[in-house]
Structure 1
């Protein structure tokens, strides 16, 4: 649904009710300017924005466990793998 800014102002209660089922685009000078969404949709959007990317999570993990990772790498360099089927830990920085 798309409404003018004047219509949104004059029919705000109705527009808010409409926003509970679908976003309402508010136009100024014939161009999209704002969007009115339900509070539930707003919470979903803000939660999605907080989700870290895989790269961000990997960086945080490596930073939080850098001493353990370094120990594992030292052990591997000194002793190698104890089983042919194992693969060395591949933490990335």
Structure 2
């Protein structure tokens, strides 16, 4: 398994966890008074975000990406749906 394939899997998982946090856990917390969902979804998303950044740095070094490409991919983790676009672009490159 390559660093890139691992990164792509983590990117998709991070994207899913972000969407769950924003569109499921947060509404449950504020509209249904169920804050526990945010606690666990947020914890999982945080772990996946850290993995995303660590593996992104590993891929940057291994594949000799330009800093600008790496920064754009890193910034994508902050936007809903963007990790899925990153996954698609990286898949097309290989």
Q: Indicate the structure with greater strand content.
A: 1
What's the TM-score once normalised by structure 2's chain length? Answer: 0.27
The structure with higher relative contact order (CA 8 Å, sep 6+) is 2
Q: Indicate the structure with greater helix content.
A: 2
